[in-house]
């Protein structure tokens, strides 16, 4: 009986439940092939449905990570508190930086999760209140390096104003589709 238990434990511990890991050379090749400035459109919707805004001109830059210009005035359209909505409109466009985590690589496409850093717009000392946007870490996209296009989602899930979580905030999804020449 103990031999069977030992065999089962060895089998379970040898199974790797994680997604396939890629070598550093495979990751470097993917980053090189995805490198560029992508021009396209950004749309914004609630996490569970209704579109807030679509067809907004946007750009994203892919190097060793992704940098995208995110328009907070689009987020402001979902905020009922006019003071907070006004603050977001005043901030305007912020840059979001996100690391790639590759899930799958095939002959033409790279599938990835984006790991965006939180965005903090400082305030205080007579300036308007600080704003912090916290992102969901489970959204990503696809890059078609043959056709030089990229599609991805970023999802702000929390909004903090002056150190307090804005409880009425509903999670959003910013969807980008673009290509480069």
Question: Which H, E and C letters describe 58-88, residue by residue?
Answer: EEEEECCCEEEEEEHHHHHCCCCCHHHHHHH
Tell me what pLDDT residue 67 has: 96
On the question of pLDDT at 48 being above 50, the answer is yes
Distance CA 172, CA 36 (A): 26
Span 4-29, pLDDT tens digits: 433 344 444 444 455 558 888 888 88
Mean pLDDT within 39-64: 89
| Pairwise pLDDT comparison (85 vs 14), residue with the higher score | 85
Tell me what pLDDT residue 181 has: 64
Span 124-180, pLDDT tens digits: 666 788 999 999 999 999 999 888 999 999 999 999 998 899 999 999 999 999 998
Mean pLDDT within 28-41: 90
Question: Which H, E and C letters describe the chain, residue by residue?
Answer: CHHHHHHHHHHHHHCCCCCCCCCHHHHHHHHHHHCEEEEEEEEEEECCCCEEEEEEEEEEEECCCEEEEEEHHHHHCCCCCHHHHHHHHHHCEEEEEEEEEEEEECCCEEEEEEEECCEEECCECCECCCEEEEECCCCEEEEECCCCEEEEEECEEEEEECCEECCCCCCEEEEEEEECC
Query: Confidence class of residue 41 from pLDDT cuts 50, 70 and 90?
Result: very high
Span 52-72, pLDDT tens digits: 888 788 999 999 999 999 999
Q: Which of 181, 157, 154, 169 is nearest to 68 (CA)?
A: 154
Q: Using an 8 Å Cβ cutoff, are 96 and 70 in contact? A: yes
Mean pLDDT within 39-48: 92
Span 100-134, pLDDT tens digits: 999 888 888 999 999 999 999 987 666 788 999 99
Tell me what pLDDT residue 126 has: 67
**∠ at Cα 181 (116, 57), nearest 5°?**
55
Which residue, chain included where needed, has tokens 């901030």? 91
Tell me what pLDDT residue 124 has: 62
């Amino acid at each position: 009986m103990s031999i069977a238990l030992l065999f089962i434990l060895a089998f379970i511990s040898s199974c790797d439940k994680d997604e396939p890991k890629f070598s550093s050379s495979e990751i470097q090749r993917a980053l090189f092939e995805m490198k560029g400035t992508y021009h396209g459109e950004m749309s914004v919707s609630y996490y569970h449905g209704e579109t807030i805004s679509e067809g907004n001109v946007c750009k994203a830059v892919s190097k060793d990570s992704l940098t995208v210009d995110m328009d907070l005035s689009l987020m402001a359209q979902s905020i009922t508190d006019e003071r907070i909505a006004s603050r977001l409109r005043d901030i305007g466009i912020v840059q979001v930086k996100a690391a790639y985590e590759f899930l799958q690589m095939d002959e033409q496409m790279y599938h990835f999760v984006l790991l965006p850093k939180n965005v903090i717009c400082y305030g205080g000392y007579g300036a308007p209140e600080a704003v912090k946007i916290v992102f969901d870490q489970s959204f990503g996209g696809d890059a078609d390096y043959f056709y030089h296009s990229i599609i991805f989602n970023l999802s702000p899930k929390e909004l903090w104003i002056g150190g307090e979580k804005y409880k009425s905030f509903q999670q959003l999804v910013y969807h980008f589709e673009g290509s480069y020449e």
